[in-house]
Amino acid sequence: MYNSFCFIGRYMVNNTLIDYMNKSPQTLSDLSYYIDILIKEHSTKDIIDKAGIDKNVLYRLQNKQNVTVENYLKIRNAFPNAFKPEPEPDVSDLPILGQIINESEIQVLNPSQPTALKVPTQLINGWQPVFGYFYNDVKSHYHGCVHIFTTKNIRHLKVTWQCHNRLIMIYPEGKSPMYAWCHLVNNTFKFFHTITKEELFTCPLKNDLRWSKFVAVVPFNLMEFARPTENETVPM
């Protein structure tokens, strides 16, 4: 029974403890990092006296060694805010990897184009790994928007049935990436231009063609009004 309340290996395995910790450190490496900060802010003696623990407990934590839950909770309760990381920002940067030209071709960004898009942090957390491509077409109202792609929950190292009837980005070896519509035709994956429906590329069922899934199109100024401005008047 006693052993079930220990930190085993690198991970803390007691579920009730993890629930209690919320977003606190969940590995011995993380905990060691926070203990070092706590010692710098208070001192070893202060922590030992306030938490009522033996000095060996701090030594073990600093060296990423197992301790009992009881000793961890003594420190946690004595310094309740010590192990909570800074809250995540509401807005984060989503990387932009290139630009979409002619509705399908991918080119590198030029020096005047943005390399990141401000998006809600939860969008990144929910779709990680996630990234964007700047849409460049001055004849379209989508000019300046960003197409967002992800490889979450897909077999992104090969084109499979997951790609059928879907807008995707493909990465043919030795060629530039292509933004296309995928369709499975007679045991062959075919990739078509998103507007003209011209066939751009094909590959067999057995392939090693990497790809990512299209998620959404968002304007580059998505988070323009993330914070209220002093002047809320409507521009004329």
pLDDT of residue 12: 36
pLDDT tens, residue order, the chain (236 aa): 333 334 333 333 334 433 444 445 667 777 788 788 888 888 888 888 988 888 888 888 888 888 888 888 888 888 877 666 667 788 889 999 999 998 899 999 999 888 999 999 888 989 999 999 999 887 788 888 999 999 999 999 999 999 999 999 999 999 999 999 999 999 999 999 999 999 999 999 999 999 999 999 999 888 877 764 455 444 44
Strands, E assignment, the chain: 91-101, 105-107, 116-120, 130-136, 145-150, 166-171, 178-185, 188-192, 199-204, 210-219
Residue ranges covered by each domain of the chain:
3-78, 91-219
Cβ pair 178, 212 in contact under 8 A: no
Whether domain 91-219 has CATH 2.10.109:
yes
Cβ pair 200, 192 in contact under 8 A: yes
- How far, in Å, CA of 34 to CA of 21, rounded? 13
Selected from 2.60.40, 3.30.70, 3.40.50, 1.10.260, the CATH number assigned to the domain covering 3-78 reads: 1.10.260
* CA 64 distance to own-chain centroid: 27
- How far, in Å, CA of 143 to CA of 110, rounded? 15
